[in-house]
Structure 1
Amino acid sequence: MDASPSPAAPPVPGPQPVPGPPPTHGHPGPPPVHPPAPAPAPASRLRRIATPAAVLAVVVGAFAYVGTVDPNEPGHYPVCPLLRLTGIYCPGCGGLRSAHAFAHGDLVAALGSNAAAVIGYAAFAVLWVLWMVRAAAGRPLRIDLKPVHWWALGTVLLVFSVVRNLPFGSALAP
């Protein structure tokens, strides 16, 4: 009788060694290899322009409302709190009257009510067109303004506010 185990011997119970690289004594081995995630499907052109189109719809709706409800008639809109309390025009004073005149195509009256607002309307239009063109092409709109740009914009609005409240700048007052 031979004492060697037969080839059909049952496996020994308990933990079995797993073939693989030798242990590294506390150092992690190479990271597990996972297949790369599939790239997301490109969005359709309609989906890419949906957000700029929705923003334009909201702005057009706001201008339509202000164009319909005249801010020159008392009681339709609240009075500017700074103007009511101090008698000083803020940079936004006259903005609704400016939007009303702009909605009716009267650019001279819009500039007379609030020239800074009209410049803001033009800046919005330019940025919106750029946004729409880039969205249609599948590229994001990136406007990286540095703090100096924000300080410059604030300074321009502050100077605008001061000048429109002085006697020689009364043409800028609403």
Structure 2
Amino acid sequence: MRDVNADVNADTQRAPRLSGLAVPGGILAAVAGAFAYVGTVDPNQPGHYPVCPLYRITGLYCPGCGGLRSAHAFIHGDFLAALQDNAMAVVGYLGFAVLWTVWVVRAARGRPLRLALGPVHLWTLGTLLLVFTVVRNLPFGGGLHP
């Protein structure tokens, strides 16, 4: 004879796990939609996207300059061009993929995603972005220009 309580308990445990996948699934859908748009509408063609305000006013590259071109190249499998356009963006794409995968695995197991970023982590990330920005605007940083 089947244990009805065991079936009910199994269903109630599965339901929160599946509902825990809704948010990561929605995030993935939004990111996939954005990448699909950038993959379709070429940022190398003028007039499709606004110019970076910092670049327009000062002629300096911000840490995000070249990010759309990088995403376009990345989507089309041209990883060297993606790195050339914005190396930090490529690191960000890969970091997002790893973080999202960990999030989904933890959600499927019924565990929350806990990010314990302390001040040291945030200062390190900020310092890396600052160094990247400064170096790409110096004469010897031409390899980092988009």
Same structural fold, with TM-score higher than 0.5 when normalized by the shorter chain: yes
Report the CA distance between 1:153 and its aligned residue.
0.5
- Give the counterpart of 2:103 among 107, 128, 131: 131
What is the one-letter code of the residue matched to 1:169? G
What is the one-letter code of the residue matched to 2:82? A
Cα deviation per residue 1:40-98 (whole Å; 9 max; x = unaligned)?
A: x5461321211111111110100000000000000000000000000000000000000
Larger of the two Rg values belongs to structure: 1
What is the one-letter code of the residue matched to 2:56? R
Aligned to 1:51: 23
Aligned to 1:121: 93
**Does residue 1:153 correspond to 2:115, yes or no?**
no
Matched residue of 1:71: which SS? coil
**Does residue 1:70 correspond to 2:42, yes or no?**
yes
- Give the counterpart of 1:81 among 53, 68, 75: 53
Aligned to 1:22: none
Identity among equivalent pairs (%): 70
- Provide the TM-score with structure 1 as the length reference: 0.75
Report the CA distance between 1:146 and its aligned residue.
0.3
Q: Which runs of 4+ in 1 moved over 4 A?
A: none
CA distance in 2, matches of 1:60, 1:143: 23
**Does residue 1:163 correspond to 2:135, yes or no?**
yes
Matched residue of 2:46: which SS? coil
Report the CA distance between 1:126 and its aligned residue.
0.3
Greater relative contact order, per chain length (Cα 8 Å cut-off, separation 6+): 2
Q: Any stretches of 5+ residues in structure 2 without a counterpart?
A: 1-11
- Give the counterpart of 1:60 among 7, 17, 32: 32
Structure richer in helix, relative to its length = 2
What is the one-letter code of the residue matched to 1:60? A
Report the CA distance between 1:105 and its aligned residue.
1.1
How many aligned residue pairs are there?
Answer: 134
Aligned to 1:172: 144
Compute the RMSD of aligned alpha carbons: 1.0
**Does residue 1:99 correspond to 2:66, yes or no?**
no
Aligned to 1:34: none
Matched residue of 1:64: which SS? helix
CA distance in 1, matches of 2:13, 2:96: 28
- Provide the TM-score with structure 2 as the length reference: 0.89
